[in-house]
Amino acid sequence: MILTDRVAVVTGAGHGIGAAIARRLVVAGVGGLVVSDIDGAAAEEVAASIVADGGAAIAVRSDASVKADLKDLVGIAEKTYGGLDIFCSNAGRAFGTGIQAADTQWTKCWELNVLQHVYAAQAAVPGMLRRGGGYLLITASAAGLLSAPGDAPYSTTKHAAVGLAEWLAITYRPRGIRVSALCPLGVRTDLLMPGIAAGHPAAMSIAAAGPLLRPQDVAEATIRGLNTEDFLILPHQSVASDYAIKAADPDRWIDQMAQHARSATRPTMREREKA
């Protein structure tokens, strides 16, 4: 998609990957941007920085897991800028818990990591169809293609997000709406770094799987993927080869992942000495 003069909405845009994507979209030529986050002050800060650099952006405090809030974002974009071309449903949640995670954790992951994208599509697609095209960018995760050992709710819901993105692409690509699933591995954000600092098994497993990118690196990969309209946007090159290995021999891949998870979470010599 040619990004010049397009109108975009980005959820979870107050921090991390979302903030980096919002800023990079404006550099790429987007003419109007709605910066959304449940942290209203952070959204205001990002929007203000974009305006200070000569871009057009407004901040909206919204909860990406609430259907009415996402519908309102589409309405605000249309009222403010005359339409909506790109909806980036980017907010996400992780708890680092296993199968025994609390029901509230499972529910929150489902609401934010899956239903957010459903609600975004429900709100944005009708207008895109009327205008003859548009773009849905779903921030999933490499966990949605591979897995996230140590975090069952996150891994499960990110797989669902990729599945939804596939369905949307199959259904609406013939009608002019492009869909991409953004699937980074480890990124230096507040979603991951505190877990690494604490030595959490899920975070350590991700850190051991590949290099930790900056949010700006993910944003660069995102712009490249939007320009070429790739379904899978993979900032970490290793994810593509790992995904191919998984498809070719799932049982071998599961054994390798289990071994990798054990190695990543095994205590270091210093930690054993402290124990």
Q: Check 81, 119, 135, 154 and give the catalytic one.
A: 154
Question: DSSP labels for 136-173?
Answer: EEEE--GGGTS--TT-HHHHHHHHHHHHHHHHHHHHHG
Contacts of 193 (CB under 8 A, 6+ apart): none
At position 195, the amino acid (one-letter code) is: G
CA dihedral 28, 163, 191, 38 (to 10 degrees): 70
Taking Cα atoms as reference points, which of 164, 191, 194, 193 lies closest to residue 179? 164
With CA atoms as reference, report the closest residue to 89 among 55, 123, 56: 123
- With residues binned 3-state (H G I as helix, E B as strand, rest as coil), the percentages for the chain, rounded to 5, are 55, 15, 30
β-strand 86-89 against 7-10: which pairing, if any? Answer: parallel
Cβ–Cβ < 8 Å for 184, 210:
no
Question: In the structure encoding, which two tokens stand for residue 36, read together?
Answer: 């959304």
Tell me if residue 154 is catalytic.
Answer: yes
Distance, CA of 261 to CA of 149 (rounded, Å): 6
Cα–Cα distance list, 140 to 66, 92, 162, 180, 182 (Å) = 18, 8, 6, 10, 6
| Of 7, 27, 28, residue with least CA distance to 74 | 7
Catalytic positions: 154
